[in-house]
């Protein structure tokens, strides 16, 4: 695949879709700024990308750390003007035991990472790309951002916010020559999806998902959605009266095993 990019920022690069996208992008002549929190996994993916010929810098940080992330991105952009930024970092969560409410701290954590982290990734580059009248922004949302999942209210809401923000950016930035791609994947095999206990119809590997995402971005598509058959089902369900639409979503009932971050914070 021929790619027009020379300088890329990618968050959430240490595993899952982010790792697969990094590998799909990596090639000689490309400078990559990869952001993630796990030092060992970040070193592994950075070396794998270097083996493919890319120059790689690691930003070892949490996307919630706005000053640190902005500093890394702005410094990288000063030395190698970014022509593609992919805001991919995200986490998932669901209802509590026996379908009890989400923990309030968990809901806000998703908001801070999935939506706030996306803002922290994109904002440092907006004025710079606008001034250069060049660049592309890719935001990773989810099919849950198109039709909310009943067992994952906060996750669905944050992904819907990412999608809405991307649509707004697209209309604003198009006259400046800046492309915006909103990515809405379905179920993708990853450490995050492994915590999802329930139906995962039409699940695909992270490598296949990355191929669809990178090819869609390279083609300058405004939206990349897959699988289409699942999207079609959700769209049709959305045309039904609410009671029937909610019934249609019942097969998607699931539970999400917590990733333990809140428990670790409590112990600290």
Residues annotated as part of the active site: 155
- In angstroms, the CA 191 to CA 252 distance is 19
Within its chain, how far is the Cα of 7 from the centroid?
Answer: 18
- In angstroms, the CA 154 to CA 96 distance is 12
Contact 262, 103 (CB under 8 A): yes
- In angstroms, the CA 216 to CA 222 distance is 8
Secondary structure (3-state) at 239: coil
Name the burial class of residue 100, with classes exposed (0-12), middle (13-18) and buried (19+) by CB atoms within 10 angstroms of its CB.
Answer: exposed
Give the pairing type, strands 31-36 and 223-226: unpaired
The two structure tokens encoding residue 175: 């006259």
Scored b (16 or more CB within 10 A) or e, 256-267 reads: beebeeeeeeee
Reference 258, options 204, 205, 194; nearest CA is 194
Task: Dump the DSSP string for 84-103.
Answer: EEEE---------GGGPPPP
């Amino acid at each position: 695949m021929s790619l027009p990019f020379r300088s890329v920022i990618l968050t959430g690069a240490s595993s899952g879709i982010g790792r697969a996208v990094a590998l799909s992008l990596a090639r000689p002549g490309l400078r990559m700024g990869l952001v993630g929190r796990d030092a060992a996994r970040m070193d592994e993916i950075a070396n794998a990308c270097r083996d493919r010929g890319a120059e790689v810098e690691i930003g070892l940080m949490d996307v919630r750390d706005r000053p640190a992330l902005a500093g890394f991105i702005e410094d990288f952009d000063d030395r190698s003007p970014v022509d593609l930024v992919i805001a991919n970092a995200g986490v998932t969560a669901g209802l509590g035991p026996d379908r009890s409410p989400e923990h309030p701290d968990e809901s806000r954590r998703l908001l801070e990472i999935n939506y706030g982290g996306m803002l922290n990734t994109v904002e440092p580059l907006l004025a710079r790309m606008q001034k250069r009248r060049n660049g592309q922004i890719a935001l990773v949302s989810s099919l849950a951002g198109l039709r909310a999942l009943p067992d994952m209210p906060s996750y669905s809401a944050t992904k819907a916010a990412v999608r809405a923000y991307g649509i707004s950016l697209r209309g604003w930035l198009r006259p400046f020559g800046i492309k915006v791609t909103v990515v809405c994947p379905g179920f993708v095999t990853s450490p995050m999806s492994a915590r999802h206990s329930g139906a995962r119809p039409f699940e695909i590997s992270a490598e296949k998902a990355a191929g669809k995402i990178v090819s869609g971005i390279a083609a300058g598509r405004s939206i990349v959605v897959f699988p289409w058959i699942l999207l079609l089902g959700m769209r049709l369900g959305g045309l039904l009266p609410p009671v029937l639409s909610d019934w249609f979503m019942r097969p998607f009932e699931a539970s999400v095993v917590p990733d333990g971050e809140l428990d670790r914070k409590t112990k600290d």
